[in-house]
Structure 1
Amino acid sequence: MGQSDQLREDPTGIDGVLNGGGKVSKIFAKAGGAFDCYLVVPETDKPVAAVVLASAIHGVDADMIAIADELATHGFIAAVPDLFWRSVAGPLPRNDPRAAERAQPRLEQIKAGEDDMIGTLRHLGTIPQFNGRAAVMGFCYGGPYAILGPKRLGYAAGICCHGSQMLDYLHELAGVGEQVCLMWGDEDDRAPAEVLQAYRDVAVRMDNVDLHIFPGVRHGYMMRTSPSFDRPAYDFSMRRACDILRRLKSQSEARNI
């Protein structure tokens, strides 16, 4: 199976398991066309929150699928849309130059992906187990969606792990009241000292912004196949994500607390 075909399926969205516990669904885009989305729905007898993973430039690869599957074991619906379907669809190896190329021009690509994040959230609304509230969890390229999701895409929280290009989205935090959690290593070459300091300053001013910086940790620490993978930072980030997701109650659940 070719790289661009690894997330392909029939339009009914009922294709088989994809190297993990979930399936691939087809989501129709607002402006036409359709994109694939890896989706894991846990066994549950009550509605639960969801998390939409915004991937790194390598796309919906084994690392992203593993994170989605793990979050589902904690009782949350997890979805990973293919944000690169408009150019080179599917996962790409770390040594493939097309991964970086398809992520440019960066600001325009992130903007185009906003519709995909909205479409994924809308698709979650068709799942009976969904309680109506979802967080974005962005990685590297997908990091800005941790801010944009709560800002204007309908998400109830944002989580960012080693996000890149983040200075361009600092101003978007203005007016955001939902929880936003940002995590980096202090040796992340995509988040130099001025980026970390800018977000430190924001975290001091905004009670809903939560910042964690890990000593000695590099860019890509969440990716198990990356040389930068860091187990303690990974485990902390997953615990933090689960803590945030557990707080995302439906409106009816919140009234009953």
Structure 2
Amino acid sequence: MENNKMAKNVDHIPQEAFDWYDDYAHGGMDRRTFMKKLGTLVAVGYSMSVLTSVLLPNYALAEQVSFNDDDIQASYEEFDSPEGYGKGRGYLVKPTDKRAKYPVVLVVHENRGLNPYVKDVARRLAKAGFVAFAPDALFPVGGYPGNDDDGRAMQKKLDKSKVQNDFVAAAKYLKTHPLSNGKLGGVGFCFGGYIVNYLAAVESGLLTAGVPFYGTPAKKELRKNITSSLMVQLGELDERVNKSWPEYEQDLKANGVNYKMHMYKNAKHGFHNDSTGRFDKENAELAWQRTLAFFEENLNA
């Protein structure tokens, strides 16, 4: 009970609270305004501690594969990025089964740097038999700072074109890695979903297969370059991103792109992220199974 009112069940937190968080997380609202808006829900009986625990990340919840897992080996590797910030660094995770070559997957974080959730996604891919590489866009300014608020502020100040070029350089580094079979996949979330769409469009043939989770498309003039197969993952309640899909789909069809789109019922933006209350276990597991199968089909053939 808070302020002599019974806090309402987490399942009944209104969608507008998630919309406020989405606006805050993407630069449309400052933290003070976000917290003030949450305060209006406290006034009608919600617990602030419940609201923040649901909306803000808890990365202790996001570890599905331990970095000590015997089936994988993780390290940090640097790469050259002459058209970007000069040097980049990422989290490289490979299986320990000693094959000569592997399918490789670039993992792209949200708009706040390489946080623990995204590193765990890379480990999940390695556990499934892929070499995964997750670059940190914040490396030129010291790397992910340990919390999303500071990471978001840091990434917002970076030069967007240089960041994009860093990810292009990371993709080329991974595609030509000694362990690579030459077929590159990409999976990204939110900003990372945009980057996967961008990598598919900026240079024909760079990506073999891309899986953008709730990411907006590259600029319209670039889309004619897309030759990779795409699996687009969208949440039904994600109005901000979903409004860009109809035009994007028209361009994919017009250019003969091999694509699939899955819309996940009642899923919010960020539904795959298991460190927040936006996580939708059933939809996230289905989307991940589809992602792995898509990469198996396109990168192992």
Q: Give, in whole Å, the separation in 2 of the partners of 1:83 and 1:227.
A: 25
**Contact 1:162–1:221, Cα closer than 8 Å, also in 2:** no
- Residue 5 of structure 1 corresponds to none
Deviation at 1:81, TM superposition (A): 0.3
Shift of 1:56: 0.2
The structure with the largest alpha-carbon Rg is 2
Q: Which residue of 1 aligns with 2:76?
A: 24
Count of residues in Structure 1 that have an aligned counterpart in Structure 2: 228
- Displacement of 1:228 after TM fit? 0.5
Secondary structure at the aligned position of 2:184 is classed as strand
Does 2:125 match 1:75? no
Q: Would you identify which runs of 4 or more consecutive aligned residues in structure 1 move more than 6 Å?
A: 17-20
Q: Deviations over 1:82-122 (max 9, x none)?
A: 1123346215424x1x333334379x51x322322232233
Contact 2:202/2:222 (8 A) holds in 1: no
C-alpha distance 89-190 of structure 1, shift in aligned 2 (>3 A): farther
Relative to structure 1, is the Cα distance of residues 27 and 204 closer, same or farther in structure 2, using a 3 angstrom cutoff?
A: closer
Residue 204 of structure 1 deviates from its aligned partner by 5.3
TM-score of the superposed pair, with normalisation by structure 1: 0.76
Distance in 2 (CA, whole Å) between partners of 1:215 and 1:171 is 31
> How far apart in 2 are the matches of 1:229 and 1:171?
34
Task: State the SS of the aligned residue for 2:162.
Answer: helix
Amino acid at match of 1:135: G
SS of alignment partner, residue 126 of structure 2: helix
Query: Are 1:215 and 2:268 an aligned pair?
Result: no
Structure 2 CA distance for partners of 1:55 and 1:130, relative to 1, 3 Å: same
1:176 is aligned to 226
Q: CA deviation at 1:167?
A: 5.3
Distance in 2, matches of 1:67 and 1:133, equals: 19
Kept in 2: contact 1:88–1:102 (CA 8 A):
no
Residue 155 in 1 paired to residue 232 in 2?
Answer: no
Of the candidates 94, 105, 113, which is equivalent to residue 41 of structure 1? Answer: 94
**8 A Cα contact 1:185 1:218, kept in partner:** yes
Q: Which amino acid aligns with 1:52?
A: L
Counterpart in 2 of 1:10? none
Query: Quick one: which amino acid aligns to residue 244 of structure 2?
Result: V
1:14-59 Cα shifts (integer Å, max 9, x gaps)? xxx9687511112232156422200001124241211101110232
Shift of 1:129: 2.3
Unpaired segments ≥5 residues, structure 1: 1-16
Output the CA distance in 2 between the equivalents of 1:53 and 1:138. 6
Higher helix share goes to which structure?
2
Q: In the TM superposition, what are the counterparts of 1:49-198 in structure 2 within 5 Å?
A: 49-87=103-141, 89-94=143-148, 96=149, 98-104=150-156, 109=160, 111-124=161-174, 127-153=177-203, 154-163=206-215, 166=216, 169-192=219-242, 194-198=243-247
